[in-house]
Structure 1
C-alpha cells in the first residue's frame, strides 16, 4: 500500500534492484520482479483507503465471504471488503485478534510467486504475543492443514516458533515476543513482517538511507545475531532485509 506508485518504484528499484511491470488492476498497480520472477505488488491505494503505507501479507482463499465470516467469528476485525477487482478476483483487509493486519484474496494467483526459505526472494514472519494462539486463529480462518494431502498448508511447532509449510517448504514463521500497543513504536506492535533477501546486506542498508528511507532500531529482539535488519521506506512502510543464504560471506 503506497501513496505514490512511481516514487515507491524508484525507491524499491534502487534498494532491491527490482524492475516493474503493469499488473491487471489499472495504472495504480504494478508488479515488482526480480530476475523476471514476481516478488511483490505495489498499489497506490493508501490515500484512497485512508490507511498507512505498509506492506500487507495476502493469503489466497477459495471464498472471501466465508473467510471474512470466520475472521469475525474468531475475534478478528474486517476493515475493508470484500472488494471486487473484475475480472481478477476479490480482496479484503483484516486484523487478527492481536491487531496484526493481513489481507485475503479470492481469485487467480500467479503461478510464478515464490515465498519461503532457500532461494525464494521473500519470506514472512508474524510478530505476536502468543504464536500458538495466532496459529489457532489463522489455522481456523484459512484452513491450514484442513485436509492431509489436500495441497493446503501444514503447521509444525519447532522450539518457540510455529512454522507454516506448503508442499514441505517453510513459507512463514509465527513468533512469540514482546509487543506494544503504542503507535510511537510501530515496529513493536503485532504485525506481519515481510522479509526481502539481498545479496549484500550492508550495501542494501546504505541504499535505503541514500534514497530517503531509514534504519529501524529494536525491530525484532529475537533476531539478534542474525544477518537481517528492519528498515522503512520514505513513507514509513516497514520491511526487513535479510542476507541471502546463497551469497558468499
Structure 2
C-alpha cells in the first residue's frame, strides 16, 4: 500500500485505506477517474495488477485485480490499521469472525482479509503509522458505514479486535448518535455501524459501505449513471451530508457524500 510518490498512512484502530478488486482495471480507472477526479500511479503488484488513486499528490485508494487463485467479488474493502496484523487476526477468530486470507507480508507491512460474525468483509493492515488522511480532499474516502442487523454486537466485535476502549479518549472516541455507533478520530467522525433498513436492496448481506467526498452528490450520481454506473435509490440527506449510493459498471457498491447544507 505504499507507492513510489504518494504516501499511505496506517492509523491504528481506525479505517485508513480502501481498495477495490475489479475484473477490468482499465475500465475501473476510467470510471472512477472521471467520477472522482483521480489520477493513478503504479502500486505493489505482488498479488496482481494494482494502482493507487491519487488526489493532490496523496494516495486515497487502491484498485486492483485479484491474483490467480483469489476468487473475490467486485467490491470495495475498508482496511483498519493495527499495530499487529497477527494479533488482530487472532482476535478476529477468537471473537467469532473468519480470517479469509493472511496475514501476508508485502512491501508496506502485513495485510489480512477477514469477515465479522455477521459476514461483513474488512481488511487488516499493519504498516508504518502516520496521521489521518486529510479528509477535505475531494475524491477521498471520508466515511465508511457498516450496514448490519445488529450494530451493537458488531461494535463489541470490532471494539475488542481493535481495542477501542483502550485508546486515548482525547484522540479516539466511540459514541452513539443519529441511530449509529460512531467512531471519531481526532475530532472527526470517520466510521459508523448501523442497522440495515428494510428499504435497502433486497438480499444485500451485511457489508461496509465506502463513501467518497464530492462537491455535489446529486451531480455525481448523474455523472455516475452517464459513465455506466447505477443509482441505488434516491439521493438523500443524512446528518453527515447528502449521500448517493451507487454501483460502478461491474456492480461494485459505494457511495458519494457532499457536505451538509
Q: Same fold (TM over 0.5)?
A: yes
Cα distance change on mapping 1:219 and 1:66 into 2, 3 Å: farther
**Is 2:258 the partner of 1:243?**
yes
The CA deviation at 1:150 is 8.6
Runs of 4+ in 1 over 4 A off after TM superposition: 109-112, 115-121
Find the counterpart in structure 2 of residue 216 from structure 1: 232
Higher normalized strand content (fraction of residues): 2
**Is 2:30 the partner of 1:10?**
yes
Aligned equivalents of 1:139, 1:94: Cα separation in 2 = 15
Find the counterpart in structure 1 of residue 209 from structure 2: 193
1:49 is paired with a residue whose SS is: coil
Aligned equivalents of 1:150, 1:47: Cα separation in 2 = 44
Find the counterpart in structure 1 of residue 143 from structure 2: 123
Aligned equivalents of 1:19, 1:112: Cα separation in 2 = 21
Aligned equivalents of 2:208, 2:191: Cα separation in 1 = 10
In 2, are the aligned partners of 1:3 and 1:47 still within 8 Å (CA)? no
Find the counterpart in structure 2 of residue 167 from structure 1: 186
The CA deviation at 1:234 is 1.0
Aligned equivalents of 1:51, 1:148: Cα separation in 2 = 36
TM-score with structure 2 setting the length: 0.80
2:76 is paired with a residue whose SS is: coil
Find the counterpart in structure 2 of residue 61 from structure 1: 82
Aligned equivalents of 1:172, 1:138: Cα separation in 2 = 12
In 1, are the aligned partners of 2:147 and 2:206 still within 8 Å (CA)? yes
Cα distance change on mapping 1:126 and 1:47 into 2, 3 Å: farther
Find the counterpart in structure 2 of residue 71 from structure 1: 92
What are structure 2's unaligned runs of at least 5 residues?
1-20
TM-score with structure 1 setting the length: 0.83
Cα distance change on mapping 1:89 and 1:77 into 2, 3 Å: same
Find the counterpart in structure 1 of residue 72 from structure 2: 51
1:95 to 115, 138, 147: 115
In 2, are the aligned partners of 1:117 and 1:170 still within 8 Å (CA)? no
The CA deviation at 1:137 is 0.4
The CA deviation at 1:111 is 4.8
Aligned equivalents of 1:133, 1:78: Cα separation in 2 = 18
Aligned equivalents of 1:163, 1:118: Cα separation in 2 = 22
What are structure 1's unaligned runs of at least 5 residues?
none
Instruction: State how many pairs are aligned.
Output: 240
Cα distance change on mapping 1:17 and 1:119 into 2, 3 Å: closer
1:39 to 43, 56, 60: 60
Aligned equivalents of 2:198, 2:84: Cα separation in 1 = 32
The CA deviation at 1:179 is 6.6
CA RMSD between the two structures: 3.2
